[in-house]
């Protein structure tokens, strides 16, 4: 009596594909959800808003400072709405949200530039809405270069071509990490995969029990591993399709780059899919109906969204939330994806995240297998 | 008496608990090879649970036994290879076609000549031209025939049929039983649970279960004797009036009407004979003692039976 029959495994696999193809709604959901989420998150959070209200505190209004303000105004990112005379006044405006930026030109700015002291212009940004601030902030260095080229003529000509004779410090308030939509999109992949993979697997397995087909199935000589793998592998492929669709959309709709190692991403992503499927399988051993499977899946989704670092910067969460967050696979996959896509990470850079996901997977699989019964008990 | 080798099923002391409810209690059963064995009992009495334990789908909390010579506790895999189990509820895939369902089942048993077997099954069913229809679109009777065909693909030596004809029209039921008898004649052992008298009387053996306990079992012919039923056949005018009267009479346990004839039965032979003697003095009806038959026995068994899902009472 052999322990694993590829023929039976293949039959379960094939059957699952046929059923998946016939279930139009679920099939549509599997492809539709990633695109819909991406559009919602990507566009609702306007990645490049313009005309943001800006205050200015001019302790020195020499030609260079004026040129910077002028440049900012013409960039369309900043709308100067007034002047403040103290730091408190500027801070209050940021806190109340009446302004998104406060530009502070320090006293004796012009003199210090001439003396080569490299003074600082401070741009305080309300980064609580990270997407709002990021485009404008990113535009700053270009604005300054242009301003300098216009102003630094005559006696200050000698400084042109060299690094700018002053610097700009951006001070992001209320949101240390300063996420941008570029940052949100890779995180969204972690959420979408978790959402669909866990739920679809759990529901697909519970459906057999609920409809009674499991009874006829396990009355045949089929082995648990054949059923389990045969039912799960089609959804691995669904995960592939979802990710592919997602990455294409992210690239072409939102210009999210992918600069890191594809191999590293591929390995990490497979691991993440497996851990989600295992979680779905675990849920299927608990749920009594498809409805329950769906509800439990949604329940696991909440901490995934809130505590993985997707919604709030992980470092900013209280200790207990970080502890919970660490046990969530999405937390690690999200870091992994950001590192690879945005920061150009390679395999060694993500080994810690991979290890974390592997440990979670091991725990889930062990519990799931202990709960799985070959009988109807 | 039958020996081990002649038994398709021999279980003893089978017990199953769900939570703190004992759903099957020390159940014994011996099914001779080649027999049609009827498994009777009200809803919720534990028939399905017992059948599931016999084919390795539930692990008994107590008891032991063998099925086709394989131990039900340690060799469920071998049992599954040789048993065809038709579940009470339709359990094929409604979103697969008829052919896909049969093909899937054939693959589960890793059959070599799968395609030709499936083709033959379709032809036997008369469904060749509808093979690509989704199974979910079939009527109750067709679903039942398809289910039977699916569990016969691998030529099982033992068929476990759990209320196979529930909710199926009488014509389809008769056809189904023709098929069961054909299989039985070919040497297949059949254990079938049922609610219907016309099915019960076609069985060679009968077991009756209530509240998880087996109350009666034996060859069908001997069941009335085992129950200890005495029956009188009554014929005459205004039979309905007499029927109503007899129902109220002490000593009469059961009055069954067959057209213009009453079968009056009771387990207390003396009391019933006294009633008959009284009645015969009136000379209005013709009273004749007869052998109790399976019909009376069946009605007697099922009459006291209410659904067993609630708290157990003493079965009537
Ligand atoms: N998996 C289960 N968990 C709990 N109770 C069950 C389970 N299966 C059956 N039962 C209960 O066991 C009793 C016997 O059920 P069953 O064997 O299906 O009876 P039958 O087939 O004779 O109608 C019923 O009261 C039923 O509610
Ligand atoms: Mg039943």
Residue A277 CB: number of other CB atoms within 10 A?
A: 27
Averaged pLDDT, B65-78: 94
- Of the partner residues B58, B90, B109, the one whose CB lies closest to the CB of residue A220: B109
- C-beta pairs of A249-254 under 8 Å, 24+ apart in sequence: A249/A34, A249/A35, A249/A38, A250/A38, A250/A42, A250/A185, A250/A186, A250/A189, A253/A38, A253/A39, A253/A42, A254/A38, A254/A42, A254/A47, A254/A181, A254/A182, A254/A185
As given in the structure block, the two tokens for residue B177 are 């039983």
Q: Can you tell me whether residue B290 is helix, strand or coil?
A: strand
The pLDDT value given to residue B53: 95
Say yes or no: B150 and B249 in one domain: no
- Of the partner residues B55, B78, B95, the one whose CB lies closest to the CB of residue A23: B95
Distance from CA of A319 to the nearest CA of B (A): 41
Evaluate: CB of B44 within 6 angstroms of ligand 1: yes
The pLDDT value given to residue B193: 95
Distance from CA of A365 to the nearest CA of B (A): 23
As given in the structure block, the two tokens for residue A22 are 């016939």
> What are phi and psi for residue B67, nearest 5 degrees?
-135, 115
Q: Virtual CA dihedral for B144, B147, B148, B151, nearest 10 degrees?
A: -170
The pLDDT value given to residue A166: 72
Say yes or no: B59 and B169 in one domain: yes
Is residue B312 predicted with pLDDT exceeding 50? no
Say yes or no: B138 and B155 in one domain: yes
Pick the last residue of a domain from A128, A152, A173: A173
Say yes or no: A133 and A254 in one domain: no
Say yes or no: A203 and A305 in one domain: yes
Which listed ligand is nearest to B19 at the C-alpha? 1
Say yes or no: B236 and B213 in one domain: no
Residue B313 lies in a domain: no
Q: What is the C-alpha separation between A129 and A102, in angstroms, rounded?
A: 15
Q: Can you tell me whether residue A4 is helix, strand or coil?
A: coil
For residue B277, the enclosing domain spans 230-291
Q: What is the C-alpha separation between B22 and B244, in angstroms, rounded?
A: 39
What strands lie across the sheet with A101-105, from one edge to the other? A78-83, A52-58, A101-105, A120-126, A167-173
Residue A377 lies in a domain: no
How many whole angstroms from its chain centre is CA A68? Answer: 34
Minimum CA–CA partner of B57 in chain A: A375
Evaluate: CB of B42 within 6 angstroms of ligand 1: no
**DSSP per-residue string spanning A296-342:** HHHHHHHHHHHHSSSSS-GGGS-HHHHHHHHT-HHHHHHHHHHHHHH
Distance from CA of A228 to the nearest CA of B (A): 14
Say yes or no: A224 and A362 in one domain: yes
Element (H, E) at B202: none
Give per-residue pLDDT as tens, B216-234.
899 988 888 888 888 999 9
Q: What is the mean pLDDT of each run of 10 residues along chain A (377 residues)?
A: 85 94 82 79 62 85 82 84 86 77 87 82 74 72 75 58 67 51 76 88 90 92 88 88 86 79 92 93 90 92 88 78 93 89 84 94 89 69
Which listed ligand is nearest to A215 at the C-alpha? 1
Residue A4 lies in a domain: no
> What are phi and psi for residue A49, nearest 5 degrees?
-70, 150
Residue A22 lies in a domain: no
Evaluate: CB of B47 within 6 angstroms of ligand 1: yes
CA of B57 to the centre of ligand 2 (A): 14
Say yes or no: B118 and B171 in one domain: yes
The pLDDT value given to residue B4: 61
Under 8 Å between Cβ of A101 and A76: no
Asked if B85's CB is within 8 angstroms of A219's CB, the reply is yes
For residue A318, the enclosing domain spans 180-371
CATH number at residue B117: 3.40.50.300
A11 interaction partners in chain B (CB closer than 8 Å): 104, 107-108
- State the average pLDDT for chain B: 89
The pLDDT value given to residue A178: 45
The pLDDT value given to residue B313: 45
Residue B302 lies in a domain: no
Under 8 Å between Cβ of B295 and B269: no
Say yes or no: B49 and B196 in one domain: yes
Minimum CA–CA partner of A223 in chain B: B77
Element (H, E) at A197: helix A181-211
Burial class (CB in 10 A: 0-12, 13-18, 19+), A21: exposed
Which listed ligand is nearest to B89 at the C-alpha? 2
The pLDDT value given to residue A352: 92
Confidence band of B308 (pLDDT split at 50, 70, 90): low
Say yes or no: A160 and A220 in one domain: no
Q: What is the C-alpha separation between A343 and A152, in angstroms, rounded?
A: 35
How many A-B residue pairs are in contact by the CB < 8 A criterion? 75
Say yes or no: A135 and A202 in one domain: no
Q: Which of A173, A177, A186 is closest to A316 using CA atoms? A: A177
Closest residue CA from atom 12 of ligand 1? B23
As given in the structure block, the two tokens for residue B141 are 């009777």
Q: Which of B208, B199, B197 is closest to B179 using CA atoms? A: B199
As given in the structure block, the two tokens for residue A66 are 């004026």
As given in the structure block, the two tokens for residue B34 are 């080649």
Say yes or no: A345 and A321 in one domain: yes
Residue A18 lies in a domain: no
Q: Can you tell me whether residue A355 is helix, strand or coil?
A: helix
Pick the last residue of a domain from A144, A173, A202: A173
Give per-residue pLDDT as tens, B154-183.
999 999 999 998 888 888 889 999 999 999
Query: Regarding beta strands B189-194 and B158-162, do their DSSP bridges make them parallel or antiparallel, or are they unpaired?
Result: parallel
Asked if B77's CB is within 8 angstroms of A22's CB, the reply is no
Beta bridge partners of B29: B11
A377 interaction partners in chain B (CB closer than 8 Å): 58-59
The pLDDT value given to residue B314: 44
CATH number at residue A112: 3.40.1710.10
The total number of structural domains in chain A stands at 2
Q: Is the dihedral of CA B49, B54, B57, B61 positive or negative?
A: positive
At CA B196, angle to CA B194 and CA B199, rounded to 5? 80
Beta bridge partners of B65: B11
Q: Virtual CA dihedral for A269, A270, A276, A278, nearest 10 degrees?
A: -160
Say yes or no: A79 and A153 in one domain: yes
Beta bridge partners of B21: B18
Asked if A7's CB is within 8 angstroms of B107's CB, the reply is yes
Say yes or no: A195 and A106 in one domain: no
Asked if B89's CB is within 8 angstroms of A376's CB, the reply is no
Say yes or no: A205 and A323 in one domain: yes
Mutate to test the pocket of ligand 1, among B27, B48, B301, B311 (most ligand atoms within 8 A of CB): B48
Say yes or no: A294 and A325 in one domain: yes
Residue A362 CB: number of other CB atoms within 10 A?
A: 12
The pLDDT value given to residue A184: 75
Distance from CA of B245 to the nearest CA of A (A): 48
The pLDDT value given to residue B315: 44
CA of B234 to the centre of ligand 1 (A): 41
For chain A, what's the residue count? 377
Using N-to-C axis directions, what is the helix angle for A262-286 and A329-343, rounded to 10°? Answer: 160
Mutate to test the pocket of ligand 1, among B17, B20, B22, B23 (most ligand atoms within 8 A of CB): B23
């Amino acid at each position: 009596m052999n322990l694993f029959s590829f023929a039976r495994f293949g039959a379960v696999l094939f059957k699952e594909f046929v059923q998946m193809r016939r279930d139009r709604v679920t099939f549509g959901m599997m492809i539709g959800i990633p695109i819909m989420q991406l559009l919602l998150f990507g566009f609702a959070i306007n990645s490049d808003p313009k005309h943001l209200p800006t205050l200015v505190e001019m302790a020195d209004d020499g030609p260079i400072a004026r040129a910077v303000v002028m440049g900012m105004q013409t960039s369309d990112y900043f709308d100067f709405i007034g002047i403040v005379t103290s730091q408190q006044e500027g801070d209050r405006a940021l806190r109340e949200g009446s302004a998104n930026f406060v530009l502070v030109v320090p006293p004796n700015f012009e003199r210090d530039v001439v003396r080569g002291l490299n003074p600082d212009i401070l741009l305080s940004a309300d980064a609580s809405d990270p997407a709002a601030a990021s485009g404008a902030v990113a535009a700053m260095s270009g604005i300054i270069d242009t301003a300098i080229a216009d102003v630094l003529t005559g006696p200050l000509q000698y400084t042109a071509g060299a690094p700018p004779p002053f610097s700009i410090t951006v001070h992001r308030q209320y949101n240390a990490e300063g996420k941008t939509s570029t940052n949100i999109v890779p995180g969204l992949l972690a959420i979408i995969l978790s959402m669909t993979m866990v739920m679809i697997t759990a529901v697909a397995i519970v459906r057999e029990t609920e409809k009674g087909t499991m009874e006829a199935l396990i009355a045949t000589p089929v082995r648990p591993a054949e059923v389990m793998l045969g039912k799960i592998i089609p959804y691995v492929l669904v995960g592939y399709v979802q990710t592919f669709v997602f990455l294409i959309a992210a690239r072409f709709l939102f210009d999210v780059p992918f600069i890191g190692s594809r191999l590293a991403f591929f390995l990490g992503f497979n691991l993440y899919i497996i851990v989600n499927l295992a979680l779905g399988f675990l849920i299927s051993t608990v749920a009594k109906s498809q409805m329950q499977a769906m509800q439990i899946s949604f329940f696991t989704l909440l901490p995934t969204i809130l505590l993985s670092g997707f919604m709030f910067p992980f470092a900013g969460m209280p200790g207990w939330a970080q502890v919970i967050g660490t046990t969530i696979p999405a937390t690690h996959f999200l870091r992994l994806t950001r590192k690879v896509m945005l920061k150009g990470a390679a395999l060694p850079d993500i080994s810690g995240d991979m290890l974390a996901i592997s440990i979670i997977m091991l725990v889930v699989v062990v519990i799931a297998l202990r709960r799985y019964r070959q009988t109807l008990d | 008496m039958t020996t081990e080798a002649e038994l398709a099923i021999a279980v003893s002391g089978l017990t199953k608990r769900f939570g703190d409810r004992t759903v099957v209690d020390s159940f014994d059963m011996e099914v001779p090879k080649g027999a049609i064995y009827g498994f009777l009992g009200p809803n919720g009495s534990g028939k399905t649970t017992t059948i599931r334990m016999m084919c390795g789908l539930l692990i008994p909390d107590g008891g032991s036994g063998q099925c086709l010579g394989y131990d039900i506790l340690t060799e469920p895999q071998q049992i599954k290879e040789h048993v065809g189990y038709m579940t009470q509820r339709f359990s094929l895939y409604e979103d697969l076609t008829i052919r896909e369902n049969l093909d899937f089942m054939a693959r589960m048993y890793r059959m070599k000549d799968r395609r030709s077997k499936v083709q033959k099954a379709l032809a036997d069913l008369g469904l060749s031209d509808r093979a690509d229809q989704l199974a979910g679109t079939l009527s109750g009777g067709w679903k039942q025939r398809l289910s039977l065909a699916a569990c016969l693909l691998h030529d099982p030596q033992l068929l476990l049929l759990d209320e196979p004809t529930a909710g199926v029209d009488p014509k389809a039921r008769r056809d189904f039983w023709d098929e069961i008898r054909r299989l039985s004649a070919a040497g297949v052992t059949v254990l079938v649970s049922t609610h219907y008298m016309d099915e019960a009387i076609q069985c060679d053996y009968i077991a009756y279960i209530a509240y998880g306990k087996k109350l009666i079992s034996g060859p069908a012919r001997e069941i009335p004797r085992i129950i200890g039923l005495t029956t009188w056949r009554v014929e005459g005018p205004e039979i309905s009036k007499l029927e109503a009267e007899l129902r109220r009479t002490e000593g009469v346990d059961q009055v069954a009407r067959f057209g213009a004839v009453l079968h009056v039965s009771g387990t207390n032979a003396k009391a019933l004979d006294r009633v008959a003697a009284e009645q015969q003095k009136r000379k209005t009806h013709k009273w004749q003692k007869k052998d109790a038959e399976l019909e009376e026995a069946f009605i007697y068994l099922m009459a006291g039976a209410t659904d067993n899902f609630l708290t157990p009472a003493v079965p009537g």
